[in-house]
Amino acid sequence: MSTDRYSIFSVLREALRGHTGWKPAWREPEPKAEYDIVIVGGGGHGLATAHYLARVHGITNVAVVEKGWIGGGNVGRNTTIVRSNYLLPGNTPFYEHSMKLWEELEQDLNYNAMVSQRGVVNLFHSDGQRDAYARRGNAMRLHGVDAELLDVPELKRILPMLDFDNARFPIKGALRQRRGGTVRHDAVAWGYARAADGRGVDIIQNCEVTGFRIEAGRILGVETTRGFIGAKKVGLACAGNSSRVAAMAGLRLPIESHALQAFVSEGIKPFIDTVCTFGAGHFYISQSDKGGLVFGGDIDGYNSYAQRGNLPTIEDVAEGGMALMPAIGRVKLLRHWGGIMDMSMDGSPIIDRTPVAGLYLNAGWCYGGFKATPASGWCFAHLLATDAPHEVAAAYRLDRFATGRLIDEKGVGAQPNLH
């Protein structure tokens, strides 16, 4: 008998019989000739879409095709932060929906994703920034999202290592979302894959889409390196490669691909037990359970598909870290890596139909896609299953750039390398 369900009892049973009953968490099926729905991209969003298609909508004749291996793209390359501290009406309900799905994720998937609601603390450094964060916190609370404004004495209690009296960027307080935190990113991909597979979804790795079969404006399937796969509907969840894949269907997207770097230090003793972001530069940090400081900053700022960045950005991130918490100055960098971000022109995502009938798009996540994974999957599954947008993702339209209904959270206009 093999062990299907993970629990304390299955761990004990397997311990007693030499761990001979575990089986692979998902199958490696050959692609079938046709599916009801093919999802292109086996990252977090594609796998979450497959899971919710199966669990919520009962659609299990589904394949996820992935050019590499699942979890090898951005879902394994981020800084694992989850939060729902958004300001604009189009964003707040969506990210809060995602936060609620994170809170029930492990029970839903029967998988330990190490969801840790350790809080997200966004520092402010001036009176003007305090007003902006107070406004953001109030907008969140009006949407039923938790938010609290912290003063300096409270901050000194929870983050004593900060450089409060920095001459250039003194710390005046923070906006905290207690329900935010971190999630083990690889486990999100694996958990969704296992849950979707368990309901009959085929996860087909090492299968790159090379073209689309489109007749009379309707999608018939995808051409892949493992042959043609027919599909009634096709959903694209290709993150940094969205423009390349969509171009094969004749679409030109409001997206540029940019490199974002992330970093982890050598393991140190418990140092910081929340997520903290610097408000005067772009720097965010948390500590993993292994003890490594996980941190990042801005995108490199030029078009890239290289999954690696350059030294000026590393220097900028390190300067942000040193301005915020000088105590980390002698900690050694263990690893750094890059991912390719699908930077949209207003900094917000797209979950919508396309001009090709039966072809759907999930893209434009910029450098904030990880936290959105559950709601992105939930809403994309809803769109694929019902052909209508989910109510919390209704603003994420592809045509909003033509109609003027942009969702510009940062307020910088049509500049993908600024979001």
Partner 1 sequence: MRIPCPYCGVRGLDEFAYLGDATLIRPDPAAPGAEAAFHDYVYLRDNPAGLHRELWQHASGCQSWLVVTRDTRTHAIGRVEVARDVAAARGSGAE
Alpha carbon distances (Å) from 39 to 71, 205, 252, 254, 263 = 15, 12, 19, 21, 30
Per CB under 8 A, 305 contacts partner 1? yes
Contact (CB, 8 A) for 371 and 98: yes
Per CB under 8 A, 243 contacts partner 1? yes
Site string for partner 1, 313-342 (x = CB under 8 A): --x---------------------------
Per CB under 8 A, 311 contacts partner 1? yes
Cβ 414 to partner 1 shortest distance, Å: 5
Cβ 284 to partner 1 shortest distance, Å: 22
Per CB under 8 A, 170 contacts partner 1? no
Per CB under 8 A, 255 contacts partner 1? yes
Cβ 278 to partner 1 shortest distance, Å: 20
Neighbours of 103 (CB within 10 A): 15
Nearest to 193 by CA among 48, 5, 376, 54: 48
Helix (H) or strand (E) holding 45: helix 44-55
Interacting residue with partner 1 among 3, 60, 61, 417 (CB under 8 A): 417
Per CB under 8 A, 354 contacts partner 1? no
Total of chain residues touching partner 1, rule CB under 8 A = 26
Cβ-proximal residues to 78 (8 Å cutoff; 6+ apart), any chain? 185, 262, 339, 369, 370
The span from the CA of 7 to the CA of 22, in Å, is 12
Between residues 292 and 369, which has the closer beta carbon with respect to partner 1?
Answer: 369
Site residues for partner 1, 74-93, by CB under 8 A, read: none
Interacting residue with partner 1 among 25, 220, 333, 414 (CB under 8 A): 414
Cβ 404 to partner 1 shortest distance, Å: 10
Per CB under 8 A, 348 contacts partner 1? no
Interacting residue with partner 1 among 79, 85, 257, 373 (CB under 8 A): 257
Between residues 169 and 401, which has the closer beta carbon with respect to partner 1?
Answer: 401
Interacting residue with partner 1 among 49, 79, 241, 348 (CB under 8 A): 241
Per CB under 8 A, 230 contacts partner 1? no
Q: Which stretch binds partner 1 (CB under 8 A): 29-37, 119-127, 197-205, 299-307?
A: 299-307
Between residues 357 and 418, which has the closer beta carbon with respect to partner 1?
Answer: 418
Cβ-proximal residues to 45 (8 Å cutoff; 6+ apart), any chain? 75, 237, 239, 362, 365, 369, 372, 373, 376, 377, 380
The span from the CA of 275 to the CA of 160, in Å, is 14
Q: Which stretch binds partner 1 (CB under 8 A): 48-56, 307-315, 348-356, 385-393?
A: 307-315
Q: Which residue has the tokens 């991130």?
A: 317
Between residues 306 and 412, which has the closer beta carbon with respect to partner 1?
Answer: 306
Q: Which stretch binds partner 1 (CB under 8 A): 116-124, 137-145, 301-309, 383-391?
A: 301-309
Interacting residue with partner 1 among 310, 322, 323, 327 (CB under 8 A): 310
Interacting residue with partner 1 among 159, 253, 285, 363 (CB under 8 A): 253
Cβ-proximal residues to 295 (8 Å cutoff; 6+ apart), any chain? 79, 262, 263, 264, 265, 283, 284, 285, 286, 317, 321
Burial 109-137 (b: 16+ CB within 10 A, else e): bebebbbbbbbbbbbbbeeebbeebeebb
First-to-final CA distance of the chain? 52
Cβ-proximal residues to 167 (8 Å cutoff; 6+ apart), any chain? none
The span from the CA of 330 to the CA of 326, in Å, is 9
Contact (CB, 8 A) for 51 and 195: yes
| Sign of torsion over alpha carbons 148, 277, 136, 362 | negative
Per CB under 8 A, 302 contacts partner 1? yes
Interacting residue with partner 1 among 277, 304, 348, 362 (CB under 8 A): 304
Between residues 271 and 401, which has the closer beta carbon with respect to partner 1?
Answer: 401
- Site of interaction with partner 1 (CB under 8 A): 241, 243-244, 247, 252-257, 301-306, 310-312, 315, 345, 401-402, 414, 416-417
